Chain A
C-alpha cells in the first residue's frame, strides 16, 4: 500500500464522514447511549479497566458535610466526588472532600483497640480484643453510674452532628445519665452563634449569593474554608462571574478569598467592629435606611421600650452611632474614612446586599459586638432574611429513634466544667456561654471548683492540640484518672490515653445529615459505608450501642445503620419517597414543591395561639409565652419572674406583639430574648454591657508597646483544622506554615524572608520561619493552623505511629521533611467576655530573629 500518510487517512475520514452522513440506510448500529467520562452513576478506571461502583454518601471532612459520591473498585475506595443530584453542592466538591479517601488507607491508622502499656505519653501500647476493651470501659462507666455519679464520666467531642450527635448525645449519654458533655464550638465560631441568639434567635446565617447584588465580607475566607463552604463558595463565584456581583473583602491578609474579590481592604486585626459601626453611622446620616430598611425596623428592637415607633428607633440608633464616624473608625482600623463611607453607600444603595462575617470578625475579644454591629448594618438596610441578603438558615429536619423508656437513666447529673468559670471577673468567665467554653474545660478541671471527672472520653477532637496553651493542656490531661478516645489517628491527645478505640472513618459508617441549604429549602441526605471498616475499626455509634447493652440500658437499635434506617423510614417526606432504600440509592432528597423560605419573621400568629392554656403576656418585652413549657412552677411565679428571667422561657415563646398584631418574628433559641431582632438587648444590659452594639477594644491591645505585634491565625483550603495532617494529598500540598509578616514590619526587626524567628507571647514562645510579604498588613504576624504536628503519622509529623505499617508505596515518594510549627502553644485561652468565644486573633507577641 503506497501512501499511508496521515493526509490520506484524513481524506478517507472525510469521505467516510460524507458517506455516513448521507443515507438513513447506513445508520444502523449496535450501541446506544452516550459516552460518559467520569461522571454519574457508573464509572470505570482508565488505568485498570475495573468497573467502579458509585455509592452516594456524605463528606465529613469539614462541618459543611457535602453530599458526596464514593467510587469503589474491587472493594477498595478509589475516588470521592460530589453527588451531582445534591441541590446544596450542585455537584461540586473541594480538595478536602477529595482527599478523604486518605483517611481510610493511611499507613499510621489505628485499626485495633490499644491499651496503654507504659507511662502516659510514652508510646508503649498493647493490642487488646474488642471484648476486653468493652469490658474494661463499660465496667468503669457502670460503676460510676451505679454509684449515682454518672456526671463523673465526661464526654468531649469535636465534630459530632446530625445522627451521630443524636445517637451518642440524645440517646446513649442521656440513657447513661451524664450531662458533663463538652463541645468544641467556642474554639470554632460559637461566639458568632451567641451573637445571633442575642439578636435574631437561632443560628446559622445563610448568605443568599444566588440572588444578591453586592457582597461585603468581613473576615470570612469563604473561598477556602467555611461552615457551609462549597454550597456557598461556588454560588458566590458564579454570582461574580455570571452576574458581575461585586465582592469586597476586609481582611488582615490577602487570603485567596481577598485575592479573588473585586477589592481587598486591608484592616488592622480586631477592628472590623469599628468599621461596621461607622458604616451604620453613614447609612443613618445619609438616610440610606429609608425604604426597605425603615420597613424592616418595625421588627427590630432598638430602644428599651418595646412599643417604640420606627422614628424613635432610628433616632435612638442615630444617637448611639453619632460618634462612630468614618474618621473615628479610620484611626482605629487603618481603613480610610472615604473608603468606609463609599462602601457604606454602596451597601446601602444596592438593591439587595449580603453582609458576610466570620471568624476574622468573630474570634476576637470584641467578636460579639462586631457580629451584633453586622446585624445592625444589615437591619438598617433591610437585608435580613430576604432574597439576596443574610438569611435565617434552613436545614433538613429528621425524626429518629429515641431512648426506650425502660432504659432511662436512674440519675442525671453534670459537672459545671464546660461553660467557663461562674464568677464574674474571673479570666475564664463569660456572660452568655451558650455554646460552652471548650478552651477552658481543662482549666476548670484543674481548678476543681465544680468537681473533676473520673473518666474523660473525647471523640473527633484533639484537646491538647486544638485549644490554646498546648503545654498546659497536656499536663492537665495527665492528671485525669482515666482517659479514653475513639480515633482513627494517633495524635497529640490519643498518645496520652489509657484506652484507644479504633474509630471507623466517615467513609465506613452510616449517618443522616442536615446541614444548611443555600436554596433556603432544606436537603435530607445520608452517609453510607462505602467499604467495610478497615481492620477492627468501628463507628463510635456502634460502640455506644454495645456499651449501653453491657451496662444494662439497651438503646433500642442494634446498630448505627439501623438507627439511620429507622430515621429514613419514619421522617415525613423521606419516608414517602421510599425511605432508607431510596436514600441508599440516591443519597439526597428534598421536598420537590417547597418554596424557598424568606421573611419568616412576617408570619402572623393567630389569636387562638395566644389564648391557649398557659399562654400569658409579658408586659416588659411584649412577648406571649406559655409558662407551662418553662421551668416556672405556677402562673404566679411565671408572672413574677417574667419571661426573660424564667428558666427555659425561650422554649416557651409563642409570639411578639407589635402594634395590634402578634408575629412569629425572630424566635429565641438558647437565650430568652424577645421576638424582635434585638439590636437593643436588655439581657446584655443586665450583665453590665451596653445594650446596643458597641466598640470594645481587647484589654491587651490597649497596652501594646512599640515592638509588639498582634498574632492572627487562619486556615488554608486543602486542610481541615486538625484532622487532615495524616492525609498524604493534603500534606503534600501544605505541610509548612511560615509566619506571614509585612515587609516593613520585618525590616524594622532585621528579618528577611526565610529567616528563623522567635515568636513570644505572655505565656510561651515558638520558633518558626518568616515569610516576608506585602500580602499582610503591617504590625501583625499570621500563622496558620493544621500543621506543626507532634504526632499524626508520617505524612503529618514525619513520625511513625506505634501502630503504623509500611505498606503504602507512597511512603517512598514522600519528598517533604518539614512539618511546620503550631501557633497554639503561645495563644492564651481567652474568652470573649460576652459569649465565651476563644479570642484566637488577639494574641500580643514580639517577633525577633531566632
Chain B
C-alpha cells in the first residue's frame, strides 16, 4: 500500500475546510502552523515538558516503595536544593538517617500509609472522589470505570503486567505525564488544532478527576504521615495541582486564540 508522505507547507483550503463547529483536524494541510523560533512557543514547549516530568516524578514516587536507586537520586544535592527552594523541607529523619535504615523507614511508612493492613489512605480515586450520586468510597467504583475508559479511549492501554487498579494515583499521574508530553509534541509540531484538543483533554482529566480527589488525598497524607518525606511530597503534589488548575485554562485560551487566528 502506498503511504502518503507528509505534506509540507501550503495553507491550501484554509478558509474552505474549517467548518463551524468542527476542527479541521489532521486532514488539513498543516493549516495553522505556529512560526518556528517564536520565543513564547519555545517557553511553552519547555513548560509542557517540565510539567510532564513533574507528573512522571510524582507517579514514580507514589507507584511503590522507594528503591535505593531512586533514593540516591533524590538525595543528590541538586535535587534536594530544588525541593528546599520549594519549601519542602525534609527533616532529620530523612537527611541524617543512614540510607539502609532510611529505605526501610520509607518502606514501612509507604505500607502503613497506602497499603495497610488497618487504617490507611488508599491511593485510588474511587475511594476519595466524593461523587454526587454517592457511588464512591469503594474499589472499582464509577470513577475507576471512568478513568479506565478515559485512558483507553485516548489510545493507551494498561500493560499486561500491571496488576493494580486502573485509578491508582500513579496511573493517573502517568497519564498526565504522557498527555503533557503529547502536548509538548503538538507545540513542537506547531499543530494548534491538536494542541487545543490535547489541552482540553488534560483540563477534563484534571477538573473531573485529579482535582476531585488528589488535594483531599494529599491533606490526609499530610495529617497522617510520620516521616517528613511523604508529608512534603504530598504538599508538593497538592500545590502542583493548584498550579495546574490555574495554568491549564490560560493555555487553553491561548490555544483557542491561535486556532481562531488562522
Contact = CB atoms under 8 A, between A and B. Distances in A.
A704 interface: no
A14 B20 contact: no
A511 B120 CA distance: 59
A805 B20 CA distance: 22
A729 interface: yes
Interface string A30-67: 11111111111011101101011000000000000000
A23 B73 contact: yes
Contacts, number: 223
Contacts of B179: 35
B69 A23 contact: yes
Contacts of A87: 1-2
B19 A98 contact: yes
A37 B186 contact: yes
A37 B182 CA distance: 9
A87 B201 CA distance: 31
A10 B45 CA distance: 12
A237 B12 contact: yes
B255 interface: no
A406 interface: no
A38 B25 contact: yes
Given A1-B239, A20-B57, A30-B162, A12 B156 contact: no
Interface in A577-603: 590, 592
B174 A47 contact: no
Given A13-B53, A20-B56, A260 B12 contact: yes
A12 B57 CA distance: 9
Given A30-B164, A30-B171, A260-B12, A46 B197 contact: yes
Contact of B5 (A34, A79, A93, A242): A242
A16 B174 CA distance: 13
A730 B9 CA distance: 26
A256 B149 CA distance: 43
A237 B159 contact: no
A10 B50 contact: yes
A4 B7 contact: no
| Chain B interface main SS type | helix
Given A30-B162, A42-B153, A241-B10, A1 B235 contact: yes
Contacts of B69: 23, 25-26
A534 to B, nearest CB: 19
Contact of A237 (B10, B146, B153): B10
A281 interface: no
B98 interface: no
Contacts of A1: 86-88, 235-236, 239
Nearest to B185: A35
B170 interface: yes
A15 B80 CA distance: 9
Interface string A85-127: 1010011111100110000000000000000000000000000
A386 to B, nearest CB: 19
Interface of chain A, helix or strand or loop or mixed? mixed
B54 A13 contact: yes
Nearest to A36: B155
Interface in B166-224: 168, 170-171, 174-175, 178-179, 182, 186, 194, 197-198, 200-201, 204, 208
Contacts of A733: 16, 19-20
Contacts of A52: 153
A9 B50 contact: yes
A82 B87 contact: no
Contacts of A32: 156-159
A17 interface: yes
A39 B25 CA distance: 9
Contacts of B56: 16-17, 20
Contacts of A11: 82, 85
A241 B7 contact: yes
B61 to A, nearest CB: 10
| Interface residues on chain B, size class | 35 or more
Interface in A230-259: 234, 237-238, 240-242, 256
B229 interface: no
Residue among A33, A39, A223, A730 with most chain B CB within 10 A: A33
A3 interface: yes
Contacts of A3: 85-87
A31 B88 contact: no
Contacts of B150: 44, 49
Contacts of B16: 94-95, 224, 256, 717-718, 733
A91 B4 contact: yes
B47 interface: yes
B155 to A, nearest CB: 3
B2 A33 contact: no
Contacts of A15: 57, 78-79, 82
B174 A46 contact: no
Interface string A700-743: 00000000000000000110000000000110110000000000
A79 to B, nearest CB: 7
Nearest to A717: B16
B151 interface: yes
Contact of B153 (A44, A95, A98, A717): A44
A16 B57 contact: yes
B153 A2 contact: no
A35 B29 contact: no
A763 interface: no
B140 interface: no
A19 interface: yes
A256 B16 CA distance: 10
Given A37-B198, A42-B155, A46-B200, A6 B59 contact: no
A81 interface: yes
A830 interface: no
B7 A242 contact: yes
A26 B53 contact: no
Contacts of B146: 49
A651 B79 CA distance: 83
A25 B67 contact: yes
A90 B4 contact: yes
A28 interface: yes
A18 to B, nearest CB: 8
Contact of A16 (B54, B201, B235): B54
B39 interface: no
Given A4-B239, A40-B155, A30 B198 contact: no
B208 A49 contact: yes
A12 B20 contact: no
Given A3-B87, A9-B240, A37 B156 contact: no
User: B54, B88, B186, B208: which has the most chain A beta carbons within 10 Å?
Assistant: B54
Nearest to B163: A30
A10 B86 contact: no
A807 interface: no
Interface string B57-74: 101100110010110011
Interface string B12-37: 11001101111101110100000000
A519 B50 contact: no
Nearest to B16: A717
Nearest to A259: B12
Given A1-B239, A37-B186, A49-B204, A729 B85 contact: no
A12 B86 contact: yes
Given A44-B150, A46-B201, A30 B50 contact: no
B149 A51 contact: yes
B8 interface: yes
Contacts of A9: 50-51, 54, 86, 240, 243
Which 9 residue pairs of A and B lie closest in terms of their CB atoms, listed nearest first? A13-B50, A36-B155, A16-B57, A44-B153, A17-B53, A1-B87, A90-B4, A2-B87, A46-B200
Given A13-B50, A32-B158, A94-B13, 8 more contacts: A11-B85, A14-B50, A16-B50, A23-B70, A30-B162, A30-B174, A87-B1, A733-B16
15 contacts: A6-B47, A9-B240, A12-B86, A17-B50, A26-B69, A26-B73, A31-B178, A33-B156, A37-B194, A38-B197, A44-B154, A46-B201, A237-B12, A732-B20, A733-B20
